[in-house]
Amino acid sequence: MSLIDTLKDNQKQAMRDKDKLRLGTIRMALAEIKQREIDGRTELNESDVIAILTKMVKQRKDAQQQFEQAGRQDLAEKEAAEVVILQDFLPQPLSPAELDELIAQAMSETGAAGMQDMGKVMGWLKPKVQGRTDMGQLSGLIKSRLN
């Protein structure tokens, strides 16, 4: 079953359960996916959908942080709840050991020797870790290894 089908099934279940927050979050995700399909005039694959959901999680986390700084705890809690709902649809995050192993494999296969090879390593890793790790954190780990 594709990720879009899973989202649609969960949307129906949220309607039956009268879970307004979950329903609204899933609708928002499906609307974003549909908009991307319309804009690109193409059907999205699984990795595209994961990238969209990952971006939405990052946006929610940023908004949550801003609401907390502004003293709006009620809105921060809503954003945090949306993050949890969206993360239900993303693949399981990679453990630090798995991440280290993938970085080592990427460096050996691309022949990375220095910072000039950062793009090669990131290009090799991105499809394998999309939605399973924070790309900023991954970039930092690769930089520390290449220095």
**Per-residue pLDDT reduced to its tens digit, 50-70:** 989 989 999 999 999 999 999
Domain boundaries, the chain: 3-87, 96-146
Fold (CATH) for 96-146: Arc Repressor Mutant, subunit A (1.10.10)
Shared fold status for 3-87 and 96-146: no
Q: What is the mean pLDDT of residues 22-40?
A: 96
Looking at 1.10.1510.10, 3.90.1150.10, 2.40.30.10, 3.30.2350.10, the CATH number of the domain 3-87 comes to 1.10.1510.10
CB-neighbour burial class of residue 72 (10 A; exposed 0-12, middle 13-18, buried 19+): middle
Between CA 63 and CA 86 the distance in angstroms is 15
Convert the pLDDT of each residue in 2-21 to its tens digit.
999 999 999 999 999 999 99
Residue 38 has pLDDT above 90, yes or no: yes
- What pLDDT shows up at residue 8? 96
Instruction: Calculate what percentage of the chain has a pLDDT beyond 90.
Output: 56
Mean pLDDT of the chain: 92
The model's confidence at residue 115, banded by pLDDT at 50, 70 and 90, is confident
What contacts 106, CB < 8 A, 6 or more positions away? 112, 121, 124, 125
Cβ pair 91, 129 in contact under 8 A? no
